[in-house]
Chains A and B, each alone.
Chain A
Amino acid sequence: MKLVAVTSCPTGIAHTYMAAESIEQAAAAAGHSITVETQGAAGADPIPADVIAAADAVIFAADVEVRGRARFAGKPVVTAPVKRAINDGPGLIAEAVAAAEAAVAAAAAGAGGTAAAPAGPAAAGHAAPAAGLTTKVDQDAGFGTRLRQWLMTGVSYMIPFVAAGGILIAISFIMGGPQVATKVFGGTFHGHVYPAAVTGIEGFTIAPVLHAAGLAGLLFLIGKIAFFMLVPVLAGFIAFAMADRMGLVPGFVGGLVATATGAGFLGGLIAGLLAGAVVMLLKRPRVPRALAGIMPVVVIPLVSTAVVGVIMAVAVGRPVAAATAAMTTWLHGLSGTNAAALGMLLGAMMAFDLGGPVNKVAYTFGLASLASGDTKIMAAVMAAGMTPPVACALASVVRKRLFTPAERTAGEAAWLLGLSFITEGAIPFAAGDPLRVIPSLMAGSAVTGGLSMAFGATSLAPHGGIWVIGLIGKPGLWAVAIAAGICVSAVCLVALKSLRRTAIAAESAANNIGVPESTRVAVGAS
């Protein structure tokens, strides 16, 4: 097994080197190779990046903050006080070996049983996910690659939320009938008017939900709550990938603000990147030793959260609200234009941000049309909202190598989510590669929306997807419209992703959420 280690101690003249010698001896005795970086008074000789990349596990034997910790991101890490390394080198080596083996097992499980992805030289460093929270970030990569790695880190943590929430919602439809959602949130479904059992996912009481919709209603609500976490988790872990632990708070809060202001997952991408950038900046200046202790726990989270929160609320939230209002007015002014063109426009809007503000405008327009008796627009909107997840799932099956293992896992759930008209199922694909995925999905959904309108398909239900096929007029043609859009999007996805030269398949990594690393306490400074 290949190991790397960093040793460091307050003074940097004794324990740093004793610890290094001790674990080198122990590693050699156990038959492992190890490279140790001693961050002491004699100056640190940094471990070459390729040695780190090839390492199976990392040991931090340190009583002060390890410098350049980010270089080891994504590796299984064992952390110990420097004295432990001196007194019990063999024990520490055994722990590192165990951590490496656990990570390999976790990777195999996380990849959903698929064979381990071939790791190219650039990606080898990320092949073994850590036992702790990990990122997929290679510090030496160019900005474009790192940007993508930041996004993919956020996506990989978000995927379980999409799968859990989406499947819960789909199950609630199957259990309680597709009108479950209307029973819970109120509205009109197939001519029935239901009162709202809850006003939102905050501050609700269980009894009215169970009364109105039973267990299915509760499951639906829980699914919705899981969905509420999508954008905060996405933003939080994008920021985490960029700025380590300290990015989490402003990322999550920024993501919550994006959700609260209706900015959707695109708002979440902005929040995550912004939070990461702000924390990176705040970490830069050298601060007096007296202040250094409270920087990571108080100052940086406080300042970054305030900055990101205000920017998200003011610079993103307000324009989104204004644009939403303007688009709604504009859509209503379009009534009476060519039906197929309107369908295409609505379809493209549904796929633009997959549950974000633009999607909501189109969907709300569909609801309003349904309420005023125009059932064709509802059918087009629903159909167009079903194609994106299914198209992503299809593309990830026919061209596996174009998708990361994490995306392929998301694809397995996306079939069901798409067919249930849970458009959010496509977010994991769009968030990791928005510039290629979103146009592809818009093209397919525009085709679906346009065809549905041209065929004159109708829907008496505001949601439910395939589960309300009984309430669809001209269901056969409606299905054809959906299938056509799926094919268009899938072809576009494959085509656009094929144009990329970087081999994504080499970017191994499953979504791995494990136990957080033990919290380390910095003791003084050297």
Chain B
Amino acid sequence: MTSPIITPDLVDLSLEADSRHDATRQLARLLAGQGRVTDLDGFLADVAAREAQMPTGIEGGIGIPHARSAYVTEPSLAFARSKAGVDYGAADGPAHLIFLIAAPEGGGAQHMTILAALARRLVHASFREALATAPDAPTVVDIVTKEVLGS
């Protein structure tokens, strides 16, 4: 893996969005800003297509918009915290932790392993708790890197 899946530039700890499309777009812009997404609208269309199949919100205030897309250059995670919450369709209410997972379309299994490891960490309350209380972006990156790669 040449570059980490997340950097401080891909973290937004005070997201304000009026819809999940808006929230996803803001996170996608972070990815585009780092050159990880080559076509913002194309990528968003792929994410929306996935979201249309079934909402990606899960219980515990988590939203996980994600897609495999031809416009993604490397496996990436953009993370946001929203105080007000953004509705991602979960049964128990809006999401306060939002993970935008971007995977390259042609990515081999090797590429995907890191995202798989990330997804596995997401169900752990301790991981969510740590992210919910992280004071700043570098801490978020540290937590993700340590949890996903270190263990």
Contact = CB atoms under 8 A, between A and B. Distances in A.
Contacts of A11: 50, 66-68, 103
B146 interface: no
B44 to A, nearest CB: 15
Nearest to A82: B54
Contacts, number: 83
B82 to A, nearest CB: 19
A359 to B, nearest CB: 56
Nearest to B109: A43
B54 A13 contact: no
Interface string B115-139: 1111111111000000000000000
A22 B123 contact: yes
B119 A41 contact: no
A107 to B, nearest CB: 34
A524 B52 CA distance: 11
B109 A42 contact: yes
Interface string A505-526: 0000000000000000001100
B50 A10 contact: yes
A13 B53 contact: no
Interface in B87-108: 91, 101, 103, 107
A84 B56 CA distance: 12
A83 interface: yes
Interface residues of A, number: 25
A87 B54 contact: no
A142 to B, nearest CB: 32
Contacts of A38: 116
A40 B116 CA distance: 8
Interface centre among B64, B113, B120, B124 (most CB of A within 10 A): B120
A524 B58 contact: no
Contact of B101 (A13, A21, A87, A523): A13
Given A38-B116, A40-B116, A41-B112, A14 B123 contact: no
B41 interface: no
Interface in B26-54: 50, 53-54
Contacts of B64: 14-15, 18
A383 interface: no
A464 to B, nearest CB: 64
A353 interface: no
Given A10-B50, A13-B103, A42 B116 contact: yes
A9 B121 CA distance: 17
A41 to B, nearest CB: 4
6 contacts: A16-B116, A20-B120, A21-B122, A22-B123, A87-B59, A89-B123
